[in-house]
Amino acid sequence: MTLSVTISEVGPRDGLQSVDRVMPTEAKKAWIKAEAEAGVSEIEVGSFVPPSLLPQMADTAEIVAFAKTIEGLDVVALIPNLRGAENAIKVGVDKMSIPFSMSETHSVKNVRKDHPAMLAEIRAIAELVAEQPEGQRPHFEVGLSTAFGCTIEGPVAEDQIVRLAEAAMEAGVAECGLSDTTGYANPAQVTRLVRKVKAAIGSDNLNTLHLHNTRGLGLANVIAGLEEGITTFDASLGGLGGCPFAPGASGNIVTEDLVFMLEAMGIHTGIDLEKLLKVRDIVAGALPGEPIYGFTPDAGLPLGFERAAA
């Protein structure tokens, strides 16, 4: 098992886009800055989607520009299409991620593109990236979403996921990640699917899991992923963006609980948990009335808790 893991904070993107209220730009900046200071080295800061669709993400270009001034921080943005990629490249993101829904029904419903159309879009973006001058090419990865099941189709055939991951690599992405968009994943499935996709596209080309805690299995799924060599886990501060205690809940795994688990296990995250816990105040203050979750923040650290050695 790996002794060092990257936690990619997705709260400012996946969290905020699920919250109706629009977080003020200055609060987003304060959040990102404080989390980077707590040792978080990668943050998905926004999404290059039309503001008419997601007003919460309207300031993404400004947020990226700000985040890029923070030394040592990898600045990630979600892009839905070529247009989004152009905008992301313009402001110089370090990493772009495009969601590619393994359920074709979901893909058509969500972005009005079937699988061939998505692959054409991914290829066009990869070409755009390749055209950029060296040193200015963002890392471009695809998130294989609904990989663990779809709320419309139900289970998605694993062979189909393997085939689409291979096609995405062939279309020119730098790597693939697996996303449990629906909170359907279980640890045995994580083990099986990570193995199959790694075997198909190469072990170094699948490094990231994006997990939700909808049915309480988020951290159990992390354990399964760790054992298969996954080195990056997405998580959201305070589990923002989904109410785990309401029907249809869809919150990301909670960054604070993930950091606690990994550090307690002796797995280095580079994150100072006590500093991280203080970041909750910024988020709570900027989104009054919005529930902020986390078991570890409520229970506190165990007596005698020690961080993993660097």
In the complex, which residues of this chain contact a second copy (CB under 8 A)? 149-155, 182-184, 186-189, 213-217, 219-220, 222-224, 244-249, 254, 257, 260-261, 264-267, 293-296, 298-300, 302-304
Classify residue 12 by its DSSP letter: I
Structure tokens, 268: 């280095």
The C-alpha atoms of residue 249 and residue 310 are separated, in whole angstroms, by 35
CB 101 to a second copy: min, Å: 15
Closest-CA residue to 48 (of 35, 27, 65): 65
Catalytic residue among 22, 27, 65, 243: 243
Instruction: Check: CB of residue 143 under 8 Å from CB of residue 210.
Output: yes
Structure tokens, 255: 């960054």
Nearer to a second copy, 35 or 263 (CB): 263
User: Could you give the 3-state DSSP secondary structure of residue 15?
Assistant: helix
Q: Quick check: is 176 catalytic?
A: no
Nearer to a second copy, 48 or 260 (CB): 260
The number of C-alpha atoms within 13 Å of 68 and in the hemisphere containing its C-beta is 18
Nearer to a second copy, 41 or 105 (CB): 105
Nearer to a second copy, 61 or 292 (CB): 292
CA distances in angstroms from 7 to 113, 206, 253, listed in the order given: 30, 15, 11
Structure tokens, 266: 């002796």
Residues belonging to the active site: 243
